[in-house]
Amino acid sequence: MTLKRARIFDALALLTVIIVVTLDQWTKALVVQYLSPPGIGPRIPLIGDYLVLFYIRNNGAAFSLFDNNSIALVVLIVAAIAIIAYLYLRMLNSGPLVYKLIFGMIIGGAVSNLIDRAHHSGYVVDFISFRIPQIGFYFAIFNLADAAISVGVFLLFVVVLLSGLHRSEEKQGRVASQKVDDGQAIPTTKSKLGHSKEQDAQP
């Protein structure tokens, strides 16, 4: 990969971060303006009772994890940022586009939620409520930044898994090719059977 192409990929990753932060902050501003006060404001159904907009203040991490547990939350955020920064720096000016875009989603979501915490003295604005009332399922209320982080982590897992399987297949192909080049090809079942019959026919 040329340096110019790698820099274009890095620029697209930065653009992804900007888009995620912009959309998340814009939707949060609309929610605060039109769905206040938090916890008791209006509920806006998007898909019946299954997907509803409802404004709450979240003092925990994504999806209200570690709510009111500041030590665990700080450790989680610091560890996550350190891992993401390390992985991205390893691919700076290199690496495929798909990885850059995925890291852009994750970093954008994390940055936007950090902006929220700094702006609102510790809490973030959550407003997307997914639930299935018929079976009593109520998912934690979240925001677009949480969604970007979650989708990014899922896609990263899938890409890493598929990449590992692809490398394993390539390695097996190289080993088989090397055996053929060295004259060590394994005889086929047909040749084995034919050889056995010839031996049995000999007196």
Which residue among the candidates 146, 181, 182, 200 is catalytic per the annotation?
A: 146
Q: 43 and 52 in contact (C-beta within 8 Å)?
A: yes
Answer yes or no: are the C-beta atoms of 104 and 15 closer than 8 Å: yes
Encoded amino acid at 115, one letter = I
Q: If 0-12 CB within 10 Å is exposed, 13-18 middle and 19+ buried, where does residue 110 land?
A: buried
- Annotation says 116 is catalytic: no
Q: Which two tokens stand for residue 11?
A: 């620029």
Query: Which of 10, 126, 182, 200 is an active site residue?
Result: 126
Residue 10 annotated in active site: no
One-letter amino acid for residue 195 of the chain:
H
Catalytic residues: 126, 146
